[in-house]
Amino acid sequence: MTHRTAPEVTGGGAKGPDELRQQLEHARGRLGRTVEELADKAHLKTRAADLKDKAGAMTVQLRSSASKAGHTVEHNVPRPVANVVQAGLRHPRPVVVAGAAAGAVVAAGLLRRRHNGHH
């Protein structure tokens, strides 16, 4: 929003009714623009608050969904698998290394089959 200064008053005011009308129209125009700018600013603040509220509600919903999914997995996965997954989450580096090693073994097997003429 731009800041406007009050109209300059020169001498004793308008020199006649026509000049007074012009000054009034000019002042009304400035006042109208100022009111529009303030309304726009208030509208933006309201929209920002609405978006913040929606984001907060979505966060709560996502957390609830994640929690439900975790409970579902916890109760529907065999205990040994759940233990391995939990250990992998606590120590991800060995899981990544083991995954890479397993991938290398599979890739080597595929290359060996292809080299020996088996498809």
Residue 57 CB contacts under 8 Å (≥ 6 apart), including other chains: none
Helices (H), 2-16: none
Predicted confidence (pLDDT) per residue in 61-109, tens digit: 888 887 777 777 666 777 777 777 777 778 778 878 888 888 888 888 8
Tokens read off for 33: 């623009």
* Confidence (pTM): 0.36
Residue in 71, 68, 2 with CA at minimum distance from that of residue 37: 2
